[in-house]
Amino acid sequence: MIITTTEAGHGPAIVLLHGFPLDQSMWHAQRSEIGKHYRVITPDLSGHGQTPLGDQPLTVDRMADDVVELLDHLQIEGSVVIGGLSMGGYVALSIVARYPNRVRALLLINTRAGADVPDTARIREELARVVEQAKSTSIVVHTMLPRLFAPETFQTQPELVASMRKVMTESDPVGVAATSRALATRTDRVPDLAKIKIPTLVIAGSNDQLIPLAESEAMAVAIPGSDLVVIPDSGHLSPLENPDATNAAISAFLGRLA
């Protein structure tokens, strides 16, 4: 199954993978700005946005396979820059571990390499069950939305919060339940970090309520030669909450690759 994608611009390709339970719309500011100099490819991962869940059981590694299949379909044969936010970062780490020849450089945005601890995995299973029973994602909106943004963003950018609320509310409950289980069973990629030999930028939101800054710092230390940039005035969704600073960090990183 070829996943649905949106893209903008021409030039070297950069693939940006969205978080859970969101879709490609979270990258609109990167498509318009980074897309001035690069080909920005922003798929909807399986079970999200316009991409159906498909028949195969959903895993983070399958999402990674889907992205590589998309690159093949787009006839992009060489290596590309892959970036991912949170869940998208889990997928990016799976791609770099399993398809190292396809990745020229890596952007890890508000994400982590470790697998779920048992308590988190249990909560995800519970969430999946409630979503399935209710045939609604409202529990996910209720539990996740307050933590997706920096506390100040709720006051300063209410329209942004409303637009992500809409995406989450309209997400397919079957896709959300399957993804919740896929995240709970993902591979621990911490042992792979020291093996990453490509240019890597770790981006952290200054006020991310889901990924503590210390975790991003530790990830950057574990990846040889990587850089860390902290985006001010930002929670978990830096590309949306502070697009100017996020785009500046991404552009500077891409510029150094040239």
Q: Please report, as ranges, the residues that interact with ligand MLT according to CB under 6 A.
A: 19-20, 86-87, 183, 210, 236
Give the phi and the psi of residue 82 in degrees, each rounded to 5. Answer: -120, 130
Nearer of residues 100 and 114 to ligand MLT, judged by Cβ:
114
Estimate the crossing angle of helix 60-73 against helix 173-184, to 10 degrees. 110
CA–CA dist 51, 15 (Å, integer) = 16
Nearer of residues 76 and 210 to ligand MLT, judged by Cβ:
210
Q: Count of CB atoms within 10 A of residue 10's CB? A: 12
CB 146 to ligand MLT: min, Å: 13
CB 236 to ligand MLT: min, Å: 6
CB 209 to ligand MLT: min, Å: 10
Nearer of residues 214 and 258 to ligand MLT, judged by Cβ:
214
Closest CA relative to residue 19, chosen from 251, 227, 235, 233? 235
Nearer of residues 29 and 74 to ligand MLT, judged by Cβ:
29
CB 253 to ligand MLT: min, Å: 21
Nearer of residues 211 and 220 to ligand MLT, judged by Cβ:
211
DSSP conformation class of 56? S
H or E element in which residue 89 lies: helix 87-98
CB 36 to ligand MLT: min, Å: 27
CA–CA dist 253, 231 (Å, integer) = 14
